[in-house]
Chains A and B, each alone.
Chain A
Amino acid sequence: MKIAVCIKRVPDTELRFTIAADGQSLDSTGMKYEISTFDEYAVEAALRLNEAHGPGEVTVVGLGPAALGEQLRRAMSMGADRAIHLTADEVPFDGAAIAHALADALEGQSYDLILFGRNATDTGNGVVGPMVAHQLNLPCVTGISHLEIGAGQGTAKRVLEGAVETVTFPLPAVLTIDEGLGRPRIPSLKGIMGAKKKPLAESPAELGPVRVSVTALAPPPDRPPGRIVGQGADAVPELVRLLRDEAKVLS
């Protein structure tokens, strides 16, 4: 199968960070970046599909600054065959603007599947995938945690609140990938060496109009300092009293 996976360069989610003096962005000192969590799951899913279904090709597509090359290479060291880098010095927050550029680059390339993450870990939006699907007029299934592909058709499971839904869809299709399809592999040394020789094509991103922007960025509200009520089971009556009389969550 010919599969495209859209991957985003995002700040490492394990890191603590501070907000820059402009109050609109992150302080980039000491910042590390990674492939957005669900996008890495999507790369893994694409690789497994082709391992199961015989020869195919996995293309990773990213939109971002020059340094995004690092994440594209990492995906190729995991096993992706080639990469497309849509260059943009600034990546807008607006998912529609990004979707426009990705859809442009994906159009007419006859991919059987186009995979996205459930959401990017920086924006937390989950809008780019379905918007690309709309622009390319392809069926779209979001938040997939299980996937099987057979003759021209796929079966996927989505975890909803309190239920699991099974759907079938025709190929080509756009899918957004949740956890559950298999943990991303760690690139081998051979993979890392091989990735250096794989093709990486660059072209400027044709972003759509930007109509959603971040006007302020703040740390989450501080939680009032908590308190250790006590040690062991003896502390339970006091905890329950606090929950009832102070926090008022028991009435």
Chain B
Amino acid sequence: MTSILVFAETRENRLRQVAFEAITAARTAVDAAGGGEVHAMVAGSVGVGSVASDLGRYGADVALILEDAALERYNAEAVAATVAAQITAGGHRAALFSSSAEGRDIAPRVAGILGAPIAADVTAFTLDGDAITAVHPVYTGKAIATLRLEGTPAVLSQRPGAVSAVEAPRETTVESVRPAIDPASARVVVTQLGAAVGGTLDLGEAPVIVAGGRGLREAANFALVEALADAFGGTAAVGATRAVTDDGWRDPSVQIGQTGRLVSPDLYIAVGISGAIQHLAGMRTSKVIVAINRDKDAPIFTVADYGIVGDLFEVVPKLTEEIKAAVDHRPS
């Protein structure tokens, strides 16, 4: 019987949305291959085991809990070694990570330890007998590659937002996992985790992103973008172009594009953004794109589903008002 081990990411002992997306994808893949098991592993400090029931909610048959006080601090080496050991012991067909900062950091280490083939940042995959077929954007999103991975086990990381999490509750067996190497010994030591920047909602998890560009003219005017994001009632995050992060109007961690974050929200609103090719590389997979720009020839309109040509200083406050009204009156 085939099985996939999902590395389910947590933060402060809570599962992240990307963990549910990965479990859903693994469930779908093993079911399509004729049935099998999904084992979801979490690694964290004392108390992380409390997420076990949530793992089952999305379709995990087995919850593997690595709980260790030393994992209060991120330790990629200890986690990678433990995941690899679990894959070998469980005879799993594949390991699935999210291609978040953490998943991108751990997945290739696991592939290295196992000598396994790896595909990163995949948007879809299927188990095809001895091979795995995976879809992966290449050339900064300008082409989509279909990949064939040969060999068992294989390692995959999945692009955040590429698969929507779907609840599929299961009876879940909970097992505790012993670390493969001492989590208290690390060559790379995390000395500080800075306060969250760019709001509480992360760009990778927000259903709506409102992004601002140089058209805003100065840092203070970003208040317009923040107000529009707030109008969505807690579902929107704020992003920016490199022109903006370069000028220090926003933290570099919210830059969207080829050298920033790759995002695919349900709704992306580009405010005063020209739509340079490097910016499009990071957001063109968004489901619905809205652009507000006073230049009707701005390249952002080539990818926008809906555009308003006009002065953002007039359009955005009005839009904020109307979105607020629409969101307040939506049926709950």
A binds B: yes
**Known contacts A160-B102, A167-B191, A215-B147; is A243 also within 8 Å of B290 by CB?**
yes
B77: chain A residues within 8 A (beta carbon): 139
Chain A residues in 8 Å Cβ range of B188: 139-141, 167-169, 173
A interface majority secondary structure: mixed
Q: Which of A10-18, A54-62, A106-114, A195-203 contacts B (4 or more CB under 8 A)?
A: A10-18
Given A163-B194, A212-B117, A231-B310, check contact A122 B326 (CB 8 Å). Answer: no
Which residues of A lie under 8 Å from residue B174 when comparing CB positions? none
Smallest CB gap from B160: residue in A: A161
Q: Which of A69-77, A130-138, A185-193 contacts B (4 or more CB under 8 A)?
A: A130-138
Within 8 A of A (CB), among B244-286: 252-253, 255, 258-260, 266-267, 277-278, 281, 284-285
Residues of B within 8 A of A13 (CB): 139-140, 258, 277-278, 281
Q: Are A37 and B318 in contact (CB under 8 A)?
A: no
Q: Do A228 and B119 form a contact, CB below 8 Å, given A163-B193, A169-B188?
A: no
CB<8 Å pairs between A and B, sample of 30: A11-B139, A13-B277, A95-B108, A96-B117, A124-B140, A126-B104, A127-B107, A127-B108, A127-B120, A130-B108, A130-B112, A131-B108, A160-B101, A162-B196, A162-B200, A162-B253, A167-B189, A169-B189, A179-B259, A211-B151, A212-B147, A226-B302, A228-B308, A229-B308, A230-B308, A231-B310, A233-B314, A236-B319, A239-B306, A250-B330
B residues contacting A by CB (< 8 A) are: 74, 76-77, 100-102, 104-105, 107-109, 111-113, 115, 117-121, 133, 136-151, 187-200, 202-205, 208, 252-253, 255, 258-260, 266-267, 277-278, 281, 284-285, 287-291, 296, 301-311, 314-315, 318-319, 322-323, 326-327, 330-331
- Nearest 5 pairs of A and B residues by beta carbon: A134-B112, A232-B310, A139-B187, A130-B108, A164-B194
Spell out A's residues near B (CB within 8 Å): 11, 13-14, 16-17, 19, 26, 37-38, 93-96, 99, 119, 121-131, 133-135, 139-143, 145, 155, 158-170, 173, 178-180, 211-221, 223-224, 226-233, 235-237, 239-240, 242-244, 247, 249-251
